[in-house]
Structure 1
Amino acid sequence: MTMSIEGRIAEELGVRERQVKAAVELLDGGSTVPFIARYRKEATEMLDDAQLRTLEERLRYLRELADRRAAILESVREQGKLDAELEARINAADTKARLEDIYLPFKPKRRTKAQIAREAGLEPLADGLLADPTVEPAAAAAAFVDADKGVADPAAALEGARAILTERFAEDADLIGELRERMWGRGRLVARVREGKEEAGAKFADYFDFAEPFTALPSHRVLAMLRGEK
C-alpha cells in the first residue's frame, strides 16, 4: 500500500500522522507557520516552529511530486508504453529528479540522431559493440553500410551506433542517479580568474584560484562565485 503524504511526513519528522494531518488542515485553511506554532499548539499536539516549517516545505514538495507523477503516468499511458513494471518504478520514485530520470526515455522530443540511426538499422551494431568490446569496430560496421538508408561508409555506421549508445546511456535512470550521487559526493567546484579580469574582479579575489568539494560548500560562497562569474 502506498503511504500517504501525511504519513510520509510524519515518519520523516518522527511524529504522529494525526499531528501532521491537523497541521496540513490549518495550512490549507490559510494559517501561517508562526500562527500555528503559537496559537494552535493544542491542535497539532505541540509541533514547534522548526517542525512546522519542515512540514510545510515537505508538503509542498510531495504534492508537486504527486502531481508530476500523475502527469507522467498519463503521458506514458497515452503513448501505449505503460506496463506494470514501469508503473511500479514511476510510483516508487521518491524524488523529482528520480521521477524525471525514469520519464526521460518517454518524454516527447524532436527526431534525434539516435532515432535516425535506428531507422537505418544500426541498433544491432550498437548492441554488438556494447556486448563485445573486443570486436573491431570498423570491420563490424562494414556490414551495415547501406547508401539507400543514408549509411555511406563504416564511419557513418559507427557514428550512428555511437548516437544510439549515447542516448541509451543518457536515458538510463539508474546510471543517471548513480552519476549524480557520485558527482555530489566526490565533485568539486573550481573557479579561476579570467585572463585580464584581475582588476575588474578584485572584490572576488578569494575565488581567483579556488577549489572546494561540493559537500563542504556553503550557499553564500556559491552565490558569491555566481555573482563573480557575471
Structure 2
Amino acid sequence: MTDISIKIEDLYYEYPDGYEALRGIDLTLYKGESLGIVGANGAGKSTLLLQLTGINYPSKGKIEVNSMEINKKNLAQIRKDIGFVFQNPEDQLFTTSIYEDVAFGPKNYKLSKEEVDKRVNEALEKVGILDLKDRAPYRLSGGQQNLAAIATAISMNPSIIIMDEPTAALDPRARRRLINLLNSFEYTKIIASHDLDMILDTCKRTIVLKDGKIVADGSTKDILLDEKLMDECNLELPLSCQKRNFD
C-alpha cells in the first residue's frame, strides 16, 4: 500500500475559451499531510481543486488519488475518498434539515439505514453540532453552516479533505473554532485560501501558484514569511507577521 494520497504529473487545463489556467503542475502529497494552496486571484487555485475532485478533467497530464487515476471509471470511488467543502456552504446544504444534508452522500451509496444514521451522528458530533441535526440549514449562522458542510464531507469517511476558502465570511470566534477543528483532523488536508494566517495555523506545507504554475513549494512558515516571494506573487505576509505602527 502506497503512502501517497495524491500524485499530479504534468497537469494542464485549458478552458473552452482557450484560457490555459494550469500549466505543468507536478505535485505529490503523502498521507496525513496538510497542504495549503495560496496565490493571487486567477492564479489557478480553484481550477486545481476542481481537477482534484474530477469536476473537470485534465487537458493534459494525469492525477492519481490513492493510486487510482481520476477518470470516469474510477470517479465514484475517488469521490468517496475525497471530502470536498465548497467556499459557500449553501452549495452543499439544500434539504430541509442538517440531518438530511449529511445523510445525502451515504444514502446515495445505498448504505443501510443504521449505517447512515451512525455516520451522520458521528460526523455531526465530530464537528460539534449534533444538537442542530433537526434544524433547517437557513436557520443556522454562517459558522454553523460551515461546520455542517464539513460534516457532509466527512460522513463519507474520506481519507482526504479538500476545502476552498473555508474561513470566508466567518467571524473571529467561528474562524478560530474551525482552525481548531481542522488541526484535530487526521485526514490528508488540502486548503486553498487567501487567509494566509489560517494557512499558517493549519498547514505544515504550502505551494504558491502564479499564472497556473507552482512557483514555490515548501514549509508553510518558510514560504509565507518570504517577503520577496510574496511580493513577486502579488501576495502579502500573513497579518500576524506584519510589522505595525500604531502611532
Between structures 1 and 2, the one with greater helix share: 1
Is TM more than 0.5 here? Answer: no
Higher relative contact order (CA 8 A, sep 6+): 2
Between structures 1 and 2, the one with greater strand share: 2
> TM-score, with normalisation over the residues of structure 1?
0.26
